[in-house]
Structure 1
Amino acid sequence: MFRTSTMKTVAAAARRASRLAFASLLSMTALTGAAQAWWNNDWSMRKEISVDTSATGANITEAIGSAPLLVRLHVGNFRFAAAKDDGSDLRFVAGDDKTPLKFHVEKYDSLLGEALIWVNVPSVQSGGKTNIWLYYGNAKATAGADAKGTYDADTLLVYHFAQRGVPALDSSAWANNAQSAGQTADAAIIGTGLRLDGQQPVTLPASPSLAIADNSAWTWTTWFKAAALQRNAVIYSRRDRGNGLVIGLDDGAPFVEISVNGTPQRTTASAPVAPGGWHHLAVVATPGLVTVYLDGNAYATLNATLPALNTPALIGGDRVAAAPAAPAAVPAATPADQSTAAPQDGAAAPAAPADGAAAPAVDAAAAAPAAAPVAAAMPGFVGELDEMSIAKSARPAGFIKVAAINQGPTPSKLLNFSVDEETSSWLSGYFGVLLKAVTLDGWIVIAILIIMALASWVVMVEKHGFLKRQKRGNELFTPAFRALEDDLTELATESAVIAAEKTEKNGKAKQDIRRHSSLYRIYLIGADEIARRFPSDAKAAGHVLSAESIAAIRAALDAGLVREMQGLNRLMVILTISISGGPFLGLLGTVVGVMVTFAAIAMSGDVNINAIAPGIAGALMATVAGLAVAIPALFGYNWLTLRIKDITSDMQVFVDEFTTKMAEVYSVERPRPLEHHRMAAE
């Protein structure tokens, strides 16, 4: 009967533990969903990108502000198979996971696993971290790129040189497209670039937006790779009569030359750069000062201001500046007319225009007075260019340094990619990635640990309830036993009456004593032993127990005490197994998982951190599971052991108390008091 009751109790405890585990799972789901907001549930994947300008990252302490950042995606940091083939489902969201960011795609090749994407980050923090989110994985999404919105209003021109056979297209909102096409350079620093041979420059338009006012702020940037050392090789030039702006290399040393009314000024040459390598070059002009930056660091300065320039500019070449025209001269020709070749000797002169027809274009330089200052043209740059931009404001030093590091060959100092997260459910995020990285052997170990965890939780819940009922039953029985005077067997037959007299909760008290009190069960053993020695009437006065009988009854009580202690400690071994075996099983799963991960890496030959980290993290899940089994079991075991010791001490005290009272009542013959006989008769 006792065994059946115990089984029912264990089953009830198991049901309670299952409900508790389910409630914990629901709460974990709610907490995880609340902690990991999801910008749009239509997108199933996302990745966090950290822009690190702290000392551990790019170490940029100067002000940066808004900046278009280049995000390079490859198979090591992006799952192309989870995105659309054309990348039209890509979206970028600010760190608050609410504000979409403007971006555009320069290149996206899912087959080769390569993408170049420009993202406008409104405020890049200097000396800290700025986080953004990359979302993808929406088959129904349409293209969301916005090249014009990627750059601020101060950006006048951005050439990616990604077009082939056509003039370079401006990615800014000003549409300052080139007027002539150049040669395409494959495998430039950012996709494709522009190859220059020093003979055929690329012409930029003389649009109103590109006009430079006198003493204005201005920023120009590009990437260059010189084919060889050249004297005064021009990368960018713009001349307007006696004024001019030339940016180039002089024997590998970057320079800026500014001419005002025919008088040139040039920056002092510093350490040259060797040909054959890519370098970032920037020129920032403020009223009274022009600063040259090389690879993000200040290289040279010039105390000068930009003059007014309204003519077309050239990339990779220079042209002779035109002097001021005489009052009666024919209007200056356009750049296209200036490039028209003159007739050869002996050739027929152009026919005179008919009445009312336009007069032929005449080179303005030829019509200029001889005394006017004329600048000599410099040779064009020979090499490759990539990513040229012009802005009508002076970009801060931090902005230039971010561009140099971010667009360079080693942008990992600035941009850090986290693991991919899937959906916004409780299985997403880091936890979901870890679960997906667990191997089969790891799942086997984790399954065993889950069984151990459930078993330990059931034992702890069942033992807690069992010990609680034991304590209550003993507390109800102890006062009734101590009230006995002459007949120690009285509670064996009248327990219900005694319990009703001594407690207020009659029915429940009787049930708690009979079913749950260990002291009552030990008492029944002693009462049965006394009743067997006085079979006629155990309640009659004058019964005497010999010392041998008392010792025999004490032995029976001790045997009952041992059996009760065994019942109290039953199933506690499951907790000890969970405490000692859980961590070792978890460690076994981790070691096997690490071995499998390194074996897979050795077979594939891919040794990047993105290939190693998921496998190692998944293997560590087994250790976490082992600790999750052992730690609750350890706390529960210590708590239950303390409770068991308390009940065991109560039983040992009761055995001594029962033996002492039995020796007092049955050792000598004593007549009962008169009132006791009267109460017994009543």
Structure 2
Amino acid sequence: MAWLTGWTYRKKVTITGQSGAGTNYQVLFKVGETSGATGEDFDLEGNSTSFPTGKDVGGDLRFTAADGTTLLDFWVEKITGTTPNILAYIWVEVSADLGSNQDIYCYYGNAGASDYSDGDDTFVFYSGFDGGSIDTAKWNTALQVGTWSISAGRLKGTDASTFRLPSKNPVLSGMSTWAIEWIGEGSTNYAVAVCSKVDNTGLFTSGYHTLATIPLDLIYIYNEGAGNSGGAYNYLTNTKYKAKQFYDGTNLEFKVYLEDGETLASEYSIADGTPPANNYIAPRATGGITYWEDLFVRKYLATEPTYSSTNSEESLQLVELSDTINLSDASNYPEAILADTITISDSLINDIAHYATKIIRLDSTNMLIVTDTDPAEI
């Protein structure tokens, strides 16, 4: 099995597939810095040189397909705990067809690795609301209703009446099922709210509208303007909630969690086998000030592919020094290298062609191969 160049450790991770999942499905893994991390799927045994320390901080981690080298996109949603027992919540977009069980690899142990966490590459649609202004490539500010801005890494909407911000593109186009997730916070009327399958103006009566109301303490689901309510809960002002909207081809379900994303506050669903024909999404609220952060759209099945198991840690203890060996005399020890092509040269030895060499390497199956040249046979 090929090895990702530059990384010292890896673990094989097995995913339980589900019929119909297809390719490029996003799977959530809970990865521990060490075995002391609470709630882990698997851990890296303290061998990551720069374990993720926050949202969208990938550290030295890489995920690959089953071939060991094809990189997979991933995004670090959040971390909990403190070092050395940090737990990272990591979404990985798996390129293989998860209609059946599949293996991937998690690599770690590379002090020179760059950050590879990227929400845009991982999800069907992602908006982290970073920077100082609204990303007009993702959101259609020309058709916004109300006042919208970016405030401390969050989308902020405010108006005395209904306000909305439609997506620039029909992000749900071609998706017969989907999940939309985000974190929301409201000051007076709404705790969390997002419209889906709406037209390009974001008008809630043109599609679905899922919301949790603070004053009424209920979940409302509107289907092209027709309202349905349930899921009673005492929502609080100025409090973050994790919201998840799911459509499985038959039912539209809305779940609201506490900020940890694990503790369910309330849920409600309606049956609808024929969703609206529109494909835009839109944050929406009425009155007061409402915030959105880390909004993403991903693939979804009612029974999702999930983490199954992890093999024991594998290690590759090679030292990368050079792709050139300089020879001086027979008393020198050979250098360790990691390269596809080896050049042997030295200005002090005239008869370079008759110098004995010993090359020790691993083949494609990690078997040790020793190549020893004898000057008498050259």
Structure 2 length-normalised TM: 0.53
Residue in structure 2 matching 1:82, options 32, 45, 49: 49
- Amino acid aligned to 1:122: S
Higher share of residues assigned helix: 1
Cα distance between partner residues in 1 of 2:47 and 2:294: 25
CA RMSD of aligned residues (A): 5.0
Residue in structure 2 matching 1:294, options 235, 247, 255: 255
1:94 aligns with 2:65: yes
Cα distance between partner residues in 1 of 2:241 and 2:134: 23
SS at match of 1:269: strand
- Amino acid aligned to 2:93: N
User: Which position in structure 2 is the counterpart of 1:265?
Assistant: 226
Residue by residue over 1:394-436, the C-alpha shift from the partner in whole angstroms, topping out at 9 and shown as x without a partner, is: 843234xx6xxx8xxxxxxx475665432169xxxxxxxxxxx
Residue in structure 2 matching 1:64, options 8, 11, 21: 21
Give the 3 Å change call, closer, same or farther, for CA 303–40 of structure 1 in structure 2.
closer
Q: Any stretches of 5+ residues in structure 1 without a counterpart?
A: 1-36, 54-60, 170-174, 185-191, 318-377, 407-413, 426-682
Give the 3 Å change call, closer, same or farther, for CA 177–206 of structure 1 in structure 2.
closer
Give the 3 Å change call, closer, same or farther, for CA 242–164 of structure 1 in structure 2.
closer
Cα displacement (A) at 1:120: 0.8
Residue by residue over 1:293-322, the C-alpha shift from the partner in whole angstroms, topping out at 9 and shown as x without a partner, is: 437998222365415477xx64242xxxxx
User: Which position in structure 2 is the counterpart of 1:181?
Assistant: 149
Give the 3 Å change call, closer, same or farther, for CA 230–207 of structure 1 in structure 2.
closer
Cα distance between partner residues in 2 of 1:242 and 1:69: 30
Cα distance between partner residues in 2 of 1:132 and 1:75: 19
Identical residues among aligned pairs (%): 16
Cα displacement (A) at 1:81: 5.3
Aligned residue pairs total 278
User: Which position in structure 1 is the counterpart of 2:303?
Assistant: 398
User: Which position in structure 2 is the counterpart of 1:248?
Assistant: 211
Cα distance between partner residues in 2 of 1:194 and 1:231: 14
Cα distance between partner residues in 1 of 2:204 and 2:101: 47
Cα displacement (A) at 1:282: 1.4
User: Which position in structure 2 is the counterpart of 1:281?
Assistant: 244
Structure with the greater alpha carbon radius of gyration:
1
Higher relative contact order (CA 8 A, sep 6+): 2
Residue by residue over 1:208-234, the C-alpha shift from the partner in whole angstroms, topping out at 9 and shown as x without a partner, is: 445979xx8574512456669958974
Cα distance between partner residues in 1 of 2:13 and 2:58: 18
Q: Any stretches of 5+ residues in structure 2 without a counterpart?
A: 35-42, 142-147, 257-263, 319-378
**Which runs of structure 2 are paired with 1:337-348 in the superposition (5 Å)?**
none
User: Which position in structure 1 is the counterpart of 2:316?
Assistant: 423
Partners of 1:235 and 1:249 within 8 A in 2: no
Cα distance between partner residues in 1 of 2:67 and 2:295: 32
1:221 aligns with 2:180: yes
Give the 3 Å change call, closer, same or farther, for CA 150–208 of structure 1 in structure 2.
closer
**Which runs of structure 2 are paired with 1:351-500 in the superposition (5 Å)?**
378-379=286-287, 385-390=292-297, 395-399=300-304, 414=307, 420-423=313-316
Higher share of residues assigned strand: 2
Cα distance between partner residues in 2 of 1:231 and 1:138: 45
**Which runs of structure 2 are paired with 1:527-676 in the superposition (5 Å)?**
none
Cα displacement (A) at 1:44: 0.9
Cα distance between partner residues in 2 of 1:125 and 1:166: 37
- Amino acid aligned to 1:306: P
Partners of 1:44 and 1:138 within 8 A in 2: yes
SS at match of 1:181: strand
Cα distance between partner residues in 2 of 1:122 and 1:148: 15
User: Which position in structure 2 is the counterpart of 1:137?
Assistant: 109
Cα distance between partner residues in 2 of 1:223 and 1:212: 20
- Amino acid aligned to 1:275: Y
Give the 3 Å change call, closer, same or farther, for CA 254–242 of structure 1 in structure 2.
closer
Partners of 1:221 and 1:282 within 8 A in 2: yes
**Which runs of structure 2 are paired with 1:164-179 in the superposition (5 Å)?**
165-167=132-134, 175-177=137-139, 179=141
Cα displacement (A) at 1:236: 3.4
Residue by residue over 1:427-473, the C-alpha shift from the partner in whole angstroms, topping out at 9 and shown as x without a partner, is: xxxxxxxxxxxxxxxxxxxxxxxxxxxxxxxxxxxxxxxxxxxxxxx
